Amino acid sequence: MDHGEKQLGMSLLEEMISTGLTPSDECYGAVMRTLSLAEDEDRVYSIFERMRNNVEFPSQSLALHIKEWFEGKKTEKWTGAFTSIHSSGHCRVCDTRLEGTDLTDEEFQLLHDSVLRRVIHGKDIFRSTTPKELKKFLDFIKDHHDYDVVVDGLNVAYTYGTKQKKYSRTLLKVVEHLAKQLGLRVLVLGRKHMKAGTSAHGAWRHSDMDTIESQADLFLTDDVSKDDPYLLSATLSCGPHARFISGDFMRDHKALLDQFVQQLFLKWLRGHQMKLLSLSYGAPIFSDVHTFDIVVQQTQNTWHFPYDNGEPRQGLEGPDKWLCVRRGN
């Protein structure tokens, strides 16, 4: 392809991006096929940087184009391989340790402030709570912000307790594990009917809720309120070490944030959100938090691309398939 056609292709790509459109994989692939010379490399790398900045996952076919582009370079030898990443965060092909999920102090503060401003103090917050209840919660968090883990009480109770209708017993097993066995400071967020509707033998038992309150702090909202804004705010207010337990996908809250903060939010979620998977002989089994970030990553001699192979994913979870490209033999 001649210089004019290359310029046209890049101009069309840049115009799409400038108008807020996300180029399709076919568009990316077509542009990459035209940019095969050494002087075109910076333009291709700018595409990869965009993928990273926007947390875009190339399809399997585009990942193959990326692999072929690197392996077709005339000035350097690059080798690509499709792989996965160890739970330790190391690539199974080149053993590179991928970038972690920890935020810098400045990034964490920006995320904390943005969530409070957009999610807690935003104009839509009173669709999910009341001014009186919001003030009560903010006063509570101001005085109680030293928890290690915040538990979405209803989400946890319903995750595994629905079949037997033993909601309080499921929640109790989780709290006991966290507080007694692991020695963690625990906050449980829930709704008032969890206590108001208790009985001696029902789904919400008096004795279970009393034991939960003896091992953890409990903050209950009105039954019409939504828990998620409080869950996020409470966890962030407890500092960078705090984690939370919930199976919620948090899509709506991500959408309220600016684009850069959305990236921080996703990164923070991967390193701090745990989900209750099951109870094994009464002991809770949680999903692992990610030790590495799921974005395009570069080192001096490697590139790593998480790619979408078409398998269904839940919520905001990233893919678990990767393309590793490394310089040299």
pLDDT by residue (tens digit) across 237-246? 999 999 999 9
- In the block, residue with structure tokens 């005339």: 74
What 3-state class would DSSP assign to 306?
strand
What share of the chain in percent tops pLDDT 90? 49
> Which pLDDT does position 138 carry in this prediction?
87
| pTM confidence score | 0.82
Crossing angle of helices 167-176 and 206-215, in 10° steps, is 20
What 3-state class would DSSP assign to 179?
helix
Res. 109: pLDDT tops 90: yes
CB-CB contact of 41 with 51 (8 Å): no
Res. 201: pLDDT tops 80: no
State the average pLDDT over residues 243-257.
87
Query: SS3 string of 210-263?
Result: HHHHHHCEEEEECCCCCCHHHHHHHHHHCCCCCEEECCCCCHHHHHCCCHHHHH
pLDDT grade, residue 93 (50/70/90)? Answer: very high
State the average pLDDT over residues 307-320.
81
In sequence order, which residues have a C-beta less than 8 Å from that of residue 130 and are 6 or more positions away? Answer: 222, 225
Q: String of b and e for 137-148 (b: at least 16 CB within 10 Å)? A: beeebeeeeebb
Res. 326: pLDDT tops 60: yes
CB-CB contact of 212 with 188 (8 Å): yes
Res. 126: pLDDT tops 50: no
What share of the chain in percent tops pLDDT 70? 84
